Amino acid sequence: MPNDAASWVCPHGQDARRGCVTCYEEASEAAPGTPSWEVAAWFTAPRPIPIRTLQDVHRHGRSFAIDQPSTPLVYLLTGRTSAPDSVQAVAGVVGFLLHNRHVVTGFTVTETRATLLPRTDTGGARTTDTWLDDTP
Ligand SMILES: [Zn+2]
């Protein structure tokens, strides 16, 4: 997988790992036939996110969720999105955090995974695993 920053830039010039609000918004009005992705993004937060906030995320209705694995201040954001490629898929899902800056006040994405969901007429799925270089 790409390690250079350029390969992580979405069409709007944002680093996918930092999120892109435009990608996030475009995903909701993606053209029919746009590939669907299941994205997971692990991120760290500077301070704990209240349980109530995590629960509220589930009410957003776009199959996004933030879960807390066992490690303190480490969270897992998962979501389904539509995007032409995996970089835009990651940018869109991480963009959800930017879009909700009032609840998630800061984050650093440490690892992402984007899985191409199978189309209804085929069974194949392609998985991309990415471990980031700049993990603190
Ligand atoms: Zn973008």
77 in a domain, yes or no? yes
Provide the whole-model pTM.
0.81
87 in a domain, yes or no? yes
Task: Give 88 Cα–ligand 1 centroid separation in angstroms.
Answer: 6
Query: Which structural domain range is residue 66 located in?
Result: 12-116
122 in a domain, yes or no? no
Model pLDDT for residues 62-94, shown as the tens digit of each residue: 678 999 988 889 999 999 999 999 999 999 999
68 in a domain, yes or no? yes
Number of domains present in the structure of the chain: 1
92 in a domain, yes or no? yes
4 in a domain, yes or no? no
What is the sign, positive or negative, of the torsion defined by CA atoms of 5, 17, 107, 131?
Answer: negative
Mean pLDDT of 108-119: 94
135 in a domain, yes or no? no
Is the pLDDT confidence value at 129 over 70? no
Residue that the structure tokens 């390690």 belong to = 3
Phi, psi of 88 (to 5 degrees): -70, -30
Which CATH number do you get for residue 55?
A: 3.30.70
Whether 39 and 79 have beta carbons less than 8 Å apart is answered as yes
pLDDT of res. 86: 96
Task: Give 84 Cα–ligand 1 centroid separation in angstroms.
Answer: 11
99 in a domain, yes or no? yes
Q: Amino acid identity of 70?
A: S
pLDDT range class, residue 122, cuts 50, 70, 90: very low
Task: Give 70 Cα–ligand 1 centroid separation in angstroms.
Answer: 31
